Amino acid sequence: MTTLVLVSHPQLADSTSQQFLKESLPDDDIIWEHIESLSSLDVAQEQAQLRRADRIILQFPLYWYAAPAGLKQWEDTVLTRTFVYGDHRYPLADKELGIVVTTGMPRQAFQRGGAEGVTLDAALAPLAALAHRAQMRWLPVFPIYQFGYLEEPEKLQLVVDYQRYLTQPQPDSLANRQDWFAQRLDGMVARLAEDQRTTGRLIASVFEQNREQIDQLHDTLAMIKEQDDD
Amino acid sequence: MTEQSQWLSQQIDQLAAQQEKFTDRAFWLALKQVVAEQDRRSEQLGGEVDGRTWRPDRW
């Protein structure tokens, strides 16, 4: 799966959250682009990139309940009517559109009655409408509230949650989560120092046993339910 | 949490603590959470199997 991450931020180098996310990028097939760094927008190249990707991520800080102006300019230039739907070819159809949005306010601000009085889903409605028009699949938004206040355990969690948002098949079920980790476990064990590999392999084997046990329990339950129906 | 899960959780914590790279540490700690979730799911599914098998009306 190819994931295209389009980052919009007017001062990327000054943003600790964006630098953190860049450092957290997984080793998978990821194309990363910072919109404001492009000296000019090569429409054909941008559109080709969109065609290549299976999952497209728009990543930005929330400025007045919307993406920064750079992203809007990119949309208005690259997403021409003919490209998105005009010729009825729908080149973006069935691709997934995900939004990674950072906010300066906490989670509870983004609800009715909260300090912002609007949910993120409501604020990002224009992008969801775009996904709908392009026949794309809209992913649940990935919000990062008040990055500056996150403690180390939360940041550690954010690394993997972000990686999974970029590369893990949806929906975010236990089965899909298990598959995601299973695909990476061998590689992660191989990265361990030699004296740690036995522990790593042991952890991997317990993980695998647990996975099989859950599968078996599902099978047993399905059998019981089938008998109950008879 | 079973004794085995507790032991495994400690093993993962130790392994994570030995990783120099932040993203490597993050991977192992996130895996620990999935293992804990596996435990919970197994227990719940096991409970459901027991519950559905225990049917005095079919005796």
From chain B, which residues contact A within 8 Å (Cβ)? 4, 8, 11-12, 14-15, 18-19, 22-31, 34-35, 37-39, 41-42, 45-46, 48-49, 52-53
Mean pLDDT of chain B, nearest integer? 92
Q: How far is CA A224 from the centre of its chain?
A: 37
A148-157 tens-digit pLDDT: 999 999 999 9
* Mean pLDDT, range A67-76, rounded to an integer: 98
* Homologous superfamily of A3-170: Flavodoxin domain (3.40.50.360)
Q: Do the chains contact at A199 and B34, CB–CB below 8 Å?
A: no
Cβ atoms of B15 and A192 closer than 8 Å: yes
Q: How many residue contacts between A and B have a Cβ separation below 8 Å?
A: 90
Identify which of A200, A202, A210 has the shortest CB distance to residue B42. A210
CA separation for the pair A132, A135 (Å, rounded): 5
Distance from CA of A68 to the nearest CA of B (A): 28
In chain A, where the domains are located: 3-170, 173-230
CA separation for the pair A81, B8 (Å, rounded): 55
CA separation for the pair A29, A3 (Å, rounded): 6
* Mean pLDDT, range A117-139, rounded to an integer: 98
CA separation for the pair A111, B31 (Å, rounded): 32
* Mean pLDDT, range A185-189, rounded to an integer: 96
Q: How far is CA A179 from the centre of its chain?
A: 16
Residues of A in contact with B14 (CB under 8 A): 199
Q: Do the chains contact at A207 and B35, CB–CB below 8 Å?
A: yes
pLDDT in the model for residue A5: 98
- Please state the ipTM of this predicted complex: 0.92
